[in-house]
């Protein structure tokens, strides 16, 4: 885990990529250069009745202006307040938190699997791989959502130049069905040395965990969990391990090896 800081910053940009989704850009944040794909930040709105911080995976960052991007969907009181904020509003930012993804070997085909708002850490991992000169033809980005309108920033993913494969439950874009169905279809026609990275709803992660185990493919999953403190003190995010005992998602995760956590 990187050295953690708590800083006051401001929103420098807010945009609405569709429906109830928002992309918030915050700056300045002094620990930009230490952020790893899969890590998250904890945000608090000063002078607000929403007491607990909210955890958000880092979607992107810019070392030049020291800004951090996060994506959120309005789903409760905290995110409803956040959606009403705008340029210049103050944010208290704690981070970077958690442990990030391990990078694959250069000879491995990376299958990056994202579901819904689990897309940000997978997107940042794809960017990191490209910065490290991984072959974009060996990076497959699978992104699933309920409908086309919920494929947030899909054009940003396509602009990376990786192999983008989308799925929607209603069939409005790409493969019709769950994203794990699209992954399974791909696996039937591709072989070689592969590694999986995934983030999304728990049901999707369970399916990815099973699919990887059946096909004997290694990889890592980024878990989502309530994180009131973000540093492993409150125990609000504990999950059982398959080997026995428990883990704190915020402190020991949120990234775990496939087959490590009981989902």
Residue 157 near residue 143, CB atoms below 8 Å: yes
Cβ atoms within 10 Å of 8's Cβ, excluding its own: 11
Same domain, 69 and 93: yes
Give, as one character, the DSSP assignment of residue 76: S
Same domain, 176 and 238: yes
The low-confidence residues of the chain, meaning pLDDT below 70, are 1-2
Same domain, 159 and 230: yes
**128-163: pLDDT as tens digits:** 999 999 999 999 999 999 999 999 999 999 999 999
CATH number at residue 56: 2.40.30.10
Residue 223, helix vs strand vs coil:
coil
pTM of the model: 0.95
Out of 38, 72, 97, a domain closes at 97
**Residue 195 covered by a domain:** yes
Q: Any alpha helices (H) in 160-235, and if so which ranges? A: 179-188, 202-214
Task: Please state, in angstroms and rounded to a whole number, the distance separating the CA atoms of residues 102 and 81.
Answer: 34
**Residue 262 covered by a domain:** no
What is the domain range of residue 69? 5-97
Q: Give the pLDDT of residue 2.
A: 60
């Amino acid at each position: 885990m990187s050295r953690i800081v708590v800083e006051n910053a401001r929103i420098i940009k807010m945009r609405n990529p569709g429906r109830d989704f928002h992309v918030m850009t915050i700056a300045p944040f002094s620990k930009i250069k230490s952020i790893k794909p899969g890590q998250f930040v904890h945000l608090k709105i000063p002078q607000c009745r929403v007491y607990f911080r909210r955890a958000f995976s880092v979607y992107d960052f810019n070392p030049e202006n020291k800004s951090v991007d996060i994506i959120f969907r309005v789903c409760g009181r905290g995110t409803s307040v956040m959606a009403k904020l705008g340029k210049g509003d103050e944010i208290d930012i704690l981070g970077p938190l958690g442990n990030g993804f391990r990078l694959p070997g250069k000879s491995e085909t990376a299958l990056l699997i994202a579901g819904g708002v689990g897309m940000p850490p997978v997107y940042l991992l794809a960017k990191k791989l490209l910065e490290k000169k991984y072959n974009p033809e060996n990076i497959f980005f699978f992104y699933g959502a309920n409908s086309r309108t919920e494929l947030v920033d899909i054009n940003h993913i396509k602009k990376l130049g990786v192999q983008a494969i989308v799925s929607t439950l209603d069939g409005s874009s790409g493969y019709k069905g769950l994203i794990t169905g699209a992954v399974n279809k791909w696996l039937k026609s591709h072989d070689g040395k592969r590694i999986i990275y995934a983030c999304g709803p728990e049901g999707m992660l369970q399916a990815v965990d099973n699919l990887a185990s059946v096909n004997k493919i290694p990889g890592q999953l980024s878990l989502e969990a309530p994180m009131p403190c973000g540093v492993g003190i409150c125990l609000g995010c504990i999950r059982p391990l398959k080997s026995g005992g428990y883990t704190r998602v915020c402190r020991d995760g949120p990234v775990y090896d496939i087959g490590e956590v009981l989902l």
